[in-house]
Amino acid sequence: MLPARTALPPPDSLADEEIVARVVAGERPLFELIMRRHNERVYRAVRSILRDETEAEDAMQQAYVDAFQHLGEFAGRSRFSTWLTRIAIHEALARRRSKKSESEGEELMASLPDSNRNPEQQAYGSEMQRVLTAAIDELPEHFRTVFVLRAVQGLSIEETAQALDIAEQTVKTRLHRARGLLKRVILQRTEPELPQALPFPAVRCDRVVKAVLDRIGARA
């Protein structure tokens, strides 16, 4: 069990390897820096496999616990982030195999609305996120995981290959196939809605009309 919270150094002041060495040496609270630094990557990796928010969070927690317990085994042959991602992926795959049935319900990626965007932009962004998330979820697992790690998370081809224990050429091939499938699925989902694209809702109509009338009035 981790001790009470103590003041941590600035998040970017230590490299992963230094944090690992200090945690192994007894500075266990520093493990919090590892989690905060890699939460997004670990989430996206397990979410690409499990497609369930609650299960993904549980898998993240277990992956971190496993990583913490085996920090002393990290040998530095790859980047720590890759080592951690592999642990998370193995945990997610184990959970995936143990499930008797898989939920087909759509799960949305968590996000916070941008306060600088107006309601129309937020609505459009949310809809596009829904379409993209659903399309990614429908990819076959071996394509989906490669796509999320490489295209969404931004791992290099080498890092993705190491994380998944596959060849770099396999990563390239699966990424190409995933992109092709995504384009087809997204087009199928959005094509029926194209006649409603680029809407001009009443609130915008009112705004433009008022602005023009105000400018005309000012010239009178």
Out of 1.10.3720.10, 1.10.1740.10, 3.30.1050.10, 3.30.470.20, the CATH code matching 12-97 is 1.10.1740.10
117-123 contacts at long range (C-beta below 8 A, 24 or more positions apart): 120/201, 120/203, 120/204
- pLDDT category at 216 given cuts 50, 70, 90 is low
Predicted pLDDT of residue 214: 85
CA 202 – CA 200 distance, rounded (Å): 7
Determine contact, residues 139/182, Cβ cutoff 8 Å. yes
Whether 129 and 85 have beta carbons less than 8 Å apart is answered as no
State pLDDT tens for residues 77-136.
Answer: 888 999 999 999 999 988 888 774 444 333 333 333 444 444 444 444 566 778 788 888
pLDDT digits (tens, 9 = 90+) for 12-65: 778 999 999 999 999 988 999 989 998 999 999 999 888 888 889 999 999 999
Alpha helices in 107-201 (DSSP H): 119-137, 141-147, 157-164, 168-190
Q: Where are the domains of the chain?
A: 12-97, 114-192
What are the structure tokens assigned to 63, written together? Answer: 């992956």
pTM (predicted TM-score): 0.62
Residue 176 has pLDDT above 90, yes or no: yes
**The CATH classification of domain 114-192, taken from the options 3.40.630.10, 3.40.50.300, 1.10.3720.10, 1.10.10.10:** 1.10.10.10
DSSP SS3 for 71: helix
Structure-block tokens of residue 162: 């190491």
> Which has more pLDDT, 198 or 126?
126
Instruction: Please indicate whether residue 147 or residue 200 has the higher confidence score (pLDDT).
Output: 147
Burial of 160 (0-12, 13-18, 19+ CB in 10 A): buried
Phi first, then psi, for residue 29 (nearest 5°) are -60, -20
Distance separating alpha carbons of residues 64 and 84, to the nearest angstrom: 8
| The length of the chain, given as a count of residues | 220
Q: Which two tokens stand for residue 170?
A: 């396999």
